[in-house]
Amino acid sequence: MSKLNYLEWSIDQLSESIKEKEISPVEVVETSLNLISSKNKELNAFVTIMEDESKKAAKRAEEEIINGNYKGPLHGIPIGLKDLICTAGVKTTFGSEVYKDYIPNFDAEVVTKLKGAGAILIGKLNMHAFAYGTTGDRSFFGPVKNPHNIQKITGGSSSGSGAAVASFQCYGSVGSDTGGSIRMPASMCGIIGMKPTFGRVSKYGSIQLCPTLDHLGPMTRTVTDNALMLNVLSGFDKKDSYSAYSKIEDFTEGINRGIKGKKIGIPTNFYFDIIDTEVRRVFDSTVRKLRELGANFVPIELPGMDDLLTAQQVLLATEAYTSLERDLINKPEQIEEEVRSRAIAGMLTQASEYIQMLQIKHKAIDMHNEALKKVDVILTPTLPMVPTNIEQRVTNSYGLQEHVRIFARLTGPSNTTGLPAISVPGGVSECGLPIGVQFIGKAFAEAELYQFAYALEQTEIYRSALSLNRFENSNLEKVME
Sign (positive/negative) of CA torsion 447, 448, 454, 457?
negative
Going by pLDDT thresholds of 50, 70 and 90, the confidence category of residue 401 is confident
Tens digit of each residue's pLDDT (9 = 90 or more) over 286-301: 999 999 999 999 999 9
Given a contact cutoff of 8 angstroms between Cβ atoms, the answer to whether 189 and 146 are in contact is: yes
Q: Give the chain's end-to-end CA distance (angstroms, integer).
A: 19
Residue 312: how many other CB atoms lie within 10 Å: 28
Across residues 276-283, what is the average pLDDT? 95
Q: Is residue 109 within 8 Å of 205, Cβ to Cβ?
A: yes
- Tens of pLDDT, residue by residue over 69-105, are 999 999 999 999 999 999 999 999 999 999 999 999 9
Yes or no: say if 125 and 81 are a contact pair by the CB < 8 Å rule: yes
The DSSP secondary-structure symbol of 123 reads: E
pLDDT at residue number 471: 44
Could you tell me the pLDDT band of residue 397, with boundaries at 50, 70 and 90?
Answer: low
Q: How confident is the model at residue 188 (pLDDT cuts 50, 70, 90)?
A: very high
Q: Tell whether the model's pLDDT for residue 398 goes beyond 70.
A: no
Query: Among candidates 45, 308, 247, which has minimal Cα distance to 163?
Result: 45
Query: What is the reported pLDDT for 475?
Result: 52
% the chain with pLDDT above 70: 94
**Cα–Cα distance for residue pair 186/146, rounded to 1 Å:** 11
CA max distance for the chain: 63
pLDDT at 55 over 70: yes
pLDDT at 22 > cutoff 50: yes
Q: What is the pLDDT of residue 460?
A: 66
CA 286 to each of CA 173, 276, 410, 430: distance values in angstroms, whole numbers, following the listed order: 26, 16, 17, 16
How far apart (Å, rounded) are the C-alpha atoms in residues 73 and 57? 16
pLDDT value at position 447? Answer: 98
pLDDT higher than threshold 70 for residue 461? no
- Does residue 463 carry a pLDDT above 50? no
HSE-CB for 168 with a 13 A CA cutoff:
24
Asked if 138 contacts 339 with a C-beta cutoff of 8 angstroms, the reply is yes
Residues 387/406, Cβ–Cβ less than 8 Å: no
According to DSSP, the residues that pair with 139 across neighbouring strands are none
- Which class for 440: exposed (0-12), middle (13-18), buried (19 or more C-beta within 10 A)? buried
Kindly give the residue spans of alpha helices, DSSP state H, lying in 44-148.
Answer: 51-66, 109-116
Rounded to the nearest integer, the mean pLDDT of the chain is 94
What number is the average pLDDT over the span 168-187?
A: 98
Q: Would the pLDDT of 337 be above 80?
A: yes
C-beta of residue 446 within 8 angstroms of C-beta of residue 230: yes
Enumerate the active-site residues.
82, 157, 181
| Burial (CB count <10 Å: 0-12, 13-18, 19+), residue 281 | middle
Domain regions of the chain by residue span: 3-479
Under CATH, which number does the domain 3-479 receive?
3.90.1300.10
Can you tell me the distance from the alpha carbon of 444 to that of 149, in angstroms, rounded to the nearest whole number? Answer: 36
How far apart are the C-alpha atoms of 57 and 60, rounded to whole Å? 5
